[in-house]
Amino acid sequence: MEEPTTNHYREGQEGEERDPESNNTLQSPLLLKRNRTLSTNHLAIIGTKVSHIESLDYEINENDLFKHDWRSRSREQVLQYVFMKWILALIVGLLTGVIASLINLAIENIAGFKLLAVAKFIKEERNFEGFLYFTGANLALTAFASILVVCFAPTAAGPGIPEIKAYLNGVDTPNMYGASTLIVKIFGSIGAVSAGLDLGKEGPLVHIGACLASLLGQGGPDNYRVKWRWMRYFNNDRDRRDLITCGAASGVCAAFRSPIGGVLFALEEVATWWRSALLWRTFFSTAVVVVVLRAFMEYCGSGDCGLFGQGGLIMFDVSSVTVTYHAMDLLPVVIIGVIGGVLGSLYNYLLHKVLRVYNLINEKGRGHKLLLSLAVSIFTSVCLYCLPFFAHCSPCDPSLPDSACPTNGRTGNFKQFNCPAGYYNDLASLLHTTNDDAVRNIFSTSTPTEFHPVSLLVFFGVYCILGLITFGIAVPSGLFLPIILMGSAYGRLLGMAMGPYTRIDQGLFSVLGAASLMAGSMRMTVSLCVIFLELTNNLLLLPITMLVLLISKTVGDAFNPSIYEIILHLKGLPFLDANPEPWMRTLTVAELADAKSPVITLCGVEKVSRIVEVLQNTTHNGFPVVDQGTVPPIGLPDGASELHGIILRAHLVAVLRKKWFLKEKRRTEDWEVRKVFTSIDLAERGFKIDEVLVTKDEMEMYVDLHPLTNTTPFTVLESLSVAKAMVLFRSVGLRHMLIVPKYQLTGVSPVVGILTRQDLLAHNILNAFPDIKSKERGKKGKQITLEVSQQQNGNISSHEA
């Protein structure tokens, strides 16, 4: 055993981080006018350095082994596979439903007991003790959630939706779907939401669904996988992608009890590829989730679940309200939409700034992350506890029954708080309660005089601040609820202001406000519309909701991209957009390849030492296999070179690990490779070249790469425009794309270059071609908003993009 290759390659590249995906990185000395940014520096916003982002292999690797396996696959095995697909979709739905129910149960009980105790303190006028109790409990819960996240699973922080979106686009974020992430996300979410922080469990539920799906697909946690025969077909990125889509849809469904909304959310916001078959399976998963939730709520309806009453799942049932709106009511609706769009994009803008500041804090280490979370918790507790003391007590509406107003329990719309009997404190109804209940209270219909405008204004202001400072801390946090809280308050305020001019109920204004702010910030339309439809249970609201969403999204789009896109860029995830930039039409892939160093190819029968050298000195994940001087088709002279295909790094490492070496330089027969490898072996990944030991003798031996080479790579002609290449790359779901020459000439290499995801990102191309960049910057076109805006912010892009 000895270290076989010299290190001089490595030294030459020491200073520069390399793109793990690209075979030939953008580093031609001739064109080195660019500053490399995106591809190297993966900075996650909650401070965890995402170490090594890889692309996923969604393409089917059609090598000889696969083809043999495919031919020999019996009808029974195909049925097994189809059956397992559905069983997995069923289990994903079942587990997501059960876990969502248990999370709700835990939150309602923990938060409920906390709030009941506080109410008791206040009734006894032991206000300071109450404050200490409230703040202390919140601090402990926050600390619990934050320590879990910081110590065990940094990837569990935040909502997780951007990472899922990136995964389904073909970008693998490591440790994102592991067992530890799942467990921390569940318990962290319970802690954080119970702590009264301004965050929701909706985003985390989506992530939980995706984690469940991924773990199920691979047969369990990394170290304890079930090696069941039926499961082996699922150990590939394609099937995992489908499962994670199901999981994400189930999560949304569990969060909002909205099965169709869940499917549409997955379709509109999360997924990059979509097939009709997937629609159908996703729908099945969400149907299962709904059945589980319904059964659970029926069971708890009888009072067996402690303080978990009818609540938990947000469900703002306004079906009893008769919606009467006429042409003259259109104006307020339009106004809501416009303001929602402006506020939503403003929120995106400010959150972006806050997250960048938080990055600097979080980067300093675990202690800083924890302190930041605790500071936010204390600030939240102070706001929530103290502000209602400044509100006036309002007399109860005598038409209400005594039990309805004032209430002292955990839920209820008219909290007594510090008021005398017969009076209620409207601000306490909103602040001294769980977030879900706050939303339900603010959505309440036919109660036009319940809230004082000043109280609503205070509530709105507080939640604007909390919504900005809470999202970036190191706990599992969703974005939906903070935005709904802000939006509902602003909607109700607007409703009050418009009161004399419209017949729309204030509760509806509140719902519309929430919808408009979500559309203004998240830029979803159809899925959001369906979610609101299923939440409010009132179909008559549909046309008006559609109008508001359309206006808000349009207004928001005029200012900045959606919040998810902003987070994706902040995290440095190489997300491939659906639409190519206009300037990509005038750039060919050959020009792009020229800007990179020459492609590294392997021979069909390659020396072991060369393979080891290439693997050690590059981080590329795919190498074209080119045969020189093969026998050409009949009737033509010798000297042809042949592009045989592309081989993956993982498969090269597998060859070295199994030591499938040949003494002489020859091509092998079919049976030889099948004796050593199965297609299941090749599906295994995660081994590093550094872990492989090759002796000096073995170094001189040969490997026949032909049977392991994917002989059906996707290729593009060198004259293809980058725009079309990008469309192809994204629509088919590629990892590598080979560029073939348009010339036919002996001596020309049959592969001109290789393109990967990083090469097709607008931001990277612009950096490699300063001419285009400066021209585009001059134009300030709408299409390049984000790239340009980031670059104009100075050298921030080199930190974060």
Binding positions for its own copies, 489-528, rule CB under 8 A:
525-526
**Span from 124-132, 196-204, 227-235, 637-645 in contact with its own copies (CB under 8 A):** 637-645
The residue among 408 and 586 lying less far from its own copies, judged by its C-beta, is 586
Q: Does 581 bind its own copies (CB under 8 A)?
A: no
The residue among 346 and 728 lying less far from its own copies, judged by its C-beta, is 728
- Assess contact for 296 and 470: CB atoms under 8 A: no
Per CB under 8 A, contacts with its own copies among 300-319 are 319
Per CB under 8 A, contacts with its own copies among 585-614 are 585-586, 588
DSSP notation for 408-464:
-SSS-SSB-TTSPTTEEEHHHHHHSS-HHHHHHHHT--S-TTSS-HHHHHHHHHHHH
Q: Does 637 bind its own copies (CB under 8 A)?
A: yes
Please select the residue that binds its own copies; options are 711, 785, 789, 798, rule is CB under 8 A: 711
Q: Does 320 bind its own copies (CB under 8 A)?
A: no
Please select the residue that binds its own copies; options are 578, 666, 669, 774, rule is CB under 8 A: 578
The residue among 211 and 533 lying less far from its own copies, judged by its C-beta, is 533
Measured from the CB of residue 30, what is the shortest distance to its own copies in angstroms? 15
Measured from the CB of residue 352, what is the shortest distance to its own copies in angstroms? 22
Per CB under 8 A, contacts with its own copies among 611-630 are 630
Torsion of CA 389, 393, 397, 398, to 10 degrees: 120
Region of residue 497 (phi > 0: left; psi between -120 and 50: alpha; otherwise: beta): alpha
Decide the pairing of beta strands 393-395 and 423-425: antiparallel
**Listed residue (463, 568, 466) closest to 513, CA to CA:** 463
- Assess contact for 566 and 560: CB atoms under 8 A: yes
The residue among 466 and 643 lying less far from its own copies, judged by its C-beta, is 643
The residue among 181 and 588 lying less far from its own copies, judged by its C-beta, is 588
The residue among 318 and 468 lying less far from its own copies, judged by its C-beta, is 318
**Span from 16-24, 358-366, 456-464, 730-738 in contact with its own copies (CB under 8 A):** 730-738
**Listed residue (543, 756, 585) closest to 25, CA to CA:** 756
Please select the residue that binds its own copies; options are 542, 600, 662, 676, rule is CB under 8 A: 542
Q: Does 740 bind its own copies (CB under 8 A)?
A: yes
Measured from the CB of residue 622, what is the shortest distance to its own copies in angstroms? 15
The residue among 285 and 373 lying less far from its own copies, judged by its C-beta, is 285
Angstrom distance (rounded) from CA 213 to CA 96 = 9
Q: How many residues bind its own copies (CB under 8 A)?
A: 88
The residue among 179 and 542 lying less far from its own copies, judged by its C-beta, is 542
**Span from 92-100, 236-244, 288-296, 452-460 in contact with its own copies (CB under 8 A):** 288-296
- Going residue by residue from 258 to 287, which x/- string records binding to its own copies, judged by CB under 8 A? -xx--xx--xx-----xxxx-xx--xx--x
Return the structure tokens found at 622.
């795919």
Region of residue 744 (phi > 0: left; psi between -120 and 50: alpha; otherwise: beta): beta
Torsion of CA 406, 412, 418, 419, to 10 degrees: -20
Per CB under 8 A, contacts with its own copies among 243-262 are 259-260
Measured from the CB of residue 719, what is the shortest distance to its own copies in angstroms? 5
Q: Does 92 bind its own copies (CB under 8 A)?
A: no
Return the structure tokens found at 382.
């102070």
Please select the residue that binds its own copies; options are 547, 603, 662, 676, rule is CB under 8 A: 547
**If you ran DSSP here, which 8-state letter would residue 588 be given?**
B
Per CB under 8 A, contacts with its own copies among 56-75 are 60, 62, 67, 70-71, 75
- H or E element that contains 480: helix 480-498
**Listed residue (98, 103, 108) closest to 293, CA to CA:** 98
Q: Give the number of C-alpha atoms closer than 13 A to the C-alpha of residue 305, restricted to the C-beta side.
A: 23
The residue among 263 and 387 lying less far from its own copies, judged by its C-beta, is 263
Angstrom distance (rounded) from CA 522 to CA 517 = 8
The residue among 405 and 524 lying less far from its own copies, judged by its C-beta, is 524
- Assess contact for 677 and 65: CB atoms under 8 A: yes
**Span from 99-107, 164-172, 638-646, 700-708 in contact with its own copies (CB under 8 A):** 638-646
Please select the residue that binds its own copies; options are 161, 313, 336, 533, rule is CB under 8 A: 533
The residue among 294 and 503 lying less far from its own copies, judged by its C-beta, is 294
Measured from the CB of residue 673, what is the shortest distance to its own copies in angstroms? 17
Per CB under 8 A, contacts with its own copies among 374-433 are none
Q: State the burial class of residue 441 (Cβ atoms within 10 Å of its Cβ: 0-12, 13-18, 19+).
A: buried
The residue among 213 and 551 lying less far from its own copies, judged by its C-beta, is 551
Angstrom distance (rounded) from CA 171 to CA 372 = 29
Q: Does 110 bind its own copies (CB under 8 A)?
A: no
**Listed residue (250, 515, 245, 475) closest to 372, CA to CA:** 475
Q: Does 749 bind its own copies (CB under 8 A)?
A: yes
- Assess contact for 413 and 396: CB atoms under 8 A: no
**If you ran DSSP here, which 8-state letter would residue 710 be given?**
B
Please select the residue that binds its own copies; options are 51, 446, 579, 793, rule is CB under 8 A: 579
The single-letter code of the amino acid at 618 is T
Contacts of 327 (CB under 8 A, 6+ apart): none
**C-alpha distance across the termini of the chain, in Å:** 42
Per CB under 8 A, contacts with its own copies among 640-679 are 640-645
Measured from the CB of residue 171, what is the shortest distance to its own copies in angstroms? 18
- Assess contact for 86 and 280: CB atoms under 8 A: no
Measured from the CB of residue 533, what is the shortest distance to its own copies in angstroms? 7
Q: Does 746 bind its own copies (CB under 8 A)?
A: yes
Q: Which residues of 68-89 are buried (b: 16+ CB within 10 A; e: fewer)?
A: bbeeeeeeeeeeeeeebbeebb
Measured from the CB of residue 325, what is the shortest distance to its own copies in angstroms? 10
Contacts of 746 (CB under 8 A, 6+ apart): 637, 639, 640
Q: Does 4 bind its own copies (CB under 8 A)?
A: no
- Going residue by residue from 752 to 781, which x/- string records binding to its own copies, judged by CB under 8 A? ---------------------------x-x
The residue among 35 and 537 lying less far from its own copies, judged by its C-beta, is 537
Tokens 């302190």 belong to 371
Residues found in the chain: 801
Q: Does 712 bind its own copies (CB under 8 A)?
A: yes
